[in-house]
Amino acid sequence: MLYSHLFGKTSRSAGNKAVVASHRLLLQAGYIRQLSTGRYTLLPLGLRVAKKVEEIIRRHVVATGAQELVVPTLHPLELWQKANRDKKFGAAMMKVTDRNGAEFTLGATAEVVMMDLVNQFNVTYKDLPINVFQFSQKFRDEARPSGGLLRVREFVMKDAYSFHQDEADLVQTYQKYWQAYQDIAQDLDLKVTVVESDNGAIGGSISHEFMVETDVGEDTIVKCDCGYCANLETAKFVRQDINLGEPQLPLQIVDQPEWVETMEDNIKHYGKPKSHYLKNVVYKDSDGQIVIAVIRGDLAVDKAKLAKVYGAKGDLEPATDDDLAKLGTRPGWVHCWGHPAVYIGDLSLKTVHNFIGGQKEKTTDSVNVNYGRDFECQFFGDIAQAQEGDICGVCQRSKLRLVKAVEFGNIFNIGYTYSQPMEGNFVDKDGSLKKLYMGSYGIGLGRAIACVVETHHDQQGIVWPKSVSPFDVHLVGLDLFHQEVADAAHRLYRQLSDSGLAVLFDDRPDATAGVKFADADLIGIPVRLLISQKSLAGGVVEYKLRSSSSIEKIKIDSVVQFLKS
């Protein structure tokens, strides 16, 4: 490809919205352009990278035994409703109505459609496992797209789905995908950390996320020296005993000055640390039901953990002052029991004797409150966010570290979440109908590209791994106004291309050496060749790796051989 002909050149600036390195570099180097917030065009350079990434993913996914197909983008809403998944996705799901009034969702994930497809064939045990995948455009109406290709509203996803006789059979395929994802990450030169995670809107029990650690990650994972890694949403940590040695004292209602409302007010008034107080955080579920999370004062509620313990069907939103007023209370005065609400308690409630708080009124509050004796919640479990330095819930010894990361891929053990409501059955050996056991497996293509750039760049630009570089060689021609040099450069370009190498040839006659070198660094092709009047006089070209500063002189006649060996 002649750079002069390339559609989508480099630009000096990426604008002030591109704060993340991959976003800025992909824009500046001419890989992507934004059409609207969270929706990007892949320019010819970007599409070349995307196709390489796609082919790497395809190769390893096919190795799991998966067969490629493609389902429509618009899914009948009624299928999602049948599977009870329409509310789960909440506001991120986009809907469209056709000329006849039929409602569709824009594919955000395809479990329901794949289950419906499998249901069109009379599946027997002989057909199982079924393992299929596709590359297709996905739509998620993210509230806050950010970081260029890191979090978008529209993207190509490799989504795979498997159907099994039972969980034992799923596990085999699940492990194949696990291996495939490790292999894909390796080919992309990405270091991934596999973490347990919550299935969220997809449904089911267990899942794993393949995380790439980077400071620009919007997710947080916990890591322990014992080897335990988890998503923040599932991180197990020990609630340490605060004062269980103290005897439980009788519950008392005590006078309290009217100004004592917040945690800070309480500390000022009682002089005890945060861990001695009861704290309430109030939510509303998608049916309008008020949910009160009760937790030790020094901990924060993790909404995903809370939703899981509660078994929430849709989004949990923070309750408003109006919601509290309807309960007959106000911020800072919420009681740990007695309101017409669903109460969900954290494990930490059992680590303290004689809690302060729980029944705040204008000039009184309760003290010496003990969980199990004085109040109990309908639901009780792990709803607290792990924090840096918490004791690992697995080894029970080492301290957890919190690390920023990006979710690169995920694998879900979703069990009967879809086959149950959608009657996804197979005929077993004995002729009986049984429910299909299901798994699903996703990798976002654009995000994978962004991960590679985040972990492979320097101040000057991108440093592509060879496996996904848009071209093999960046040939820079200087002094091309000399016909002799231009001829030699074009001849070399043809030789390299004819040998099977993909070459980007900077043939611009009017750009300076500085501009050409800067553009080559920005674009990030692993190998740079320079041909100029001077090099030609010596019968050589200058060879430089993007990842190194040293320059090697290669005889023009042996360049092809050198590069191909």
Contact set with its own copies (CB under 8 A): 4-9, 33, 35-36, 39-44, 46-47, 50, 65, 67-76, 91-92, 94-96, 98-99, 102, 104, 106, 113, 116-117, 120-121, 126-127, 130, 132, 136-137, 139, 141, 143, 153-154
Q: With respect to its own copies, which residue has the nearer C-beta, 30 or 461?
A: 30
Task: For the CB of residue 424, give the shortest distance to its own copies in the complex, in Å.
Answer: 15
SS3 of 317, please? strand
Task: For the CB of residue 505, give the shortest distance to its own copies in the complex, in Å.
Answer: 15
| Secondary structure letter of residue 499 according to DSSP | T
Could you tell me the two tokens for 192? 């991934």
- What is the end-to-end Cα distance of the chain in Å, rounded? 23
Q: With respect to its own copies, which residue has the nearer C-beta, 15 or 331?
A: 15
Could you give the C-alpha distances from 135 to 1, 75, 110, 130, in angstroms and in order? Answer: 27, 16, 11, 17
Residue with tokens 């994978």: 448
The continuous run of DSSP H or E covering 95 comes out as strand 95-97
Task: For the CB of residue 279, give the shortest distance to its own copies in the complex, in Å.
Answer: 31
Task: For the CB of residue 445, give the shortest distance to its own copies in the complex, in Å.
Answer: 11
Q: With respect to its own copies, which residue has the nearer C-beta, 9 or 534?
A: 9
Query: Using CA atoms, how far apart are residues 421 and 29, in angstroms rounded to an integer?
Result: 48
Task: For the CB of residue 134, give the shortest distance to its own copies in the complex, in Å.
Answer: 8
Q: With respect to its own copies, which residue has the nearer C-beta, 339 or 474?
A: 474
Task: For the CB of residue 487, give the shortest distance to its own copies in the complex, in Å.
Answer: 21
SS3 of 285, please? coil
Task: For the CB of residue 70, give the shortest distance to its own copies in the complex, in Å.
Answer: 5
Q: With respect to its own copies, which residue has the nearer C-beta, 51 or 435?
A: 51
Task: For the CB of residue 67, give the shortest distance to its own copies in the complex, in Å.
Answer: 4
The continuous run of DSSP H or E covering 36 comes out as strand 32-36
Q: What is the full DSSP assignment across 138-153?
A: EE---SS-BTGGGB-S
Query: Using CA atoms, how far apart are residues 375 and 369, in angstroms rounded to an integer?
Result: 8
Q: At what angle do helices 445-455 and 21-28 cross, to 10 degrees?
A: 100
Q: With respect to its own copies, which residue has the nearer C-beta, 115 or 344?
A: 115
Backbone angles phi, psi at 522, to 5 degrees: -65, -45
Q: With respect to its own copies, which residue has the nearer C-beta, 217 or 439?
A: 439
Q: With respect to its own copies, which residue has the nearer C-beta, 322 or 510?
A: 510
| Secondary structure letter of residue 216 according to DSSP | T
Identify which of 560, 543, 561 has the alpha carbon closest to the alpha carbon of residue 552: 543
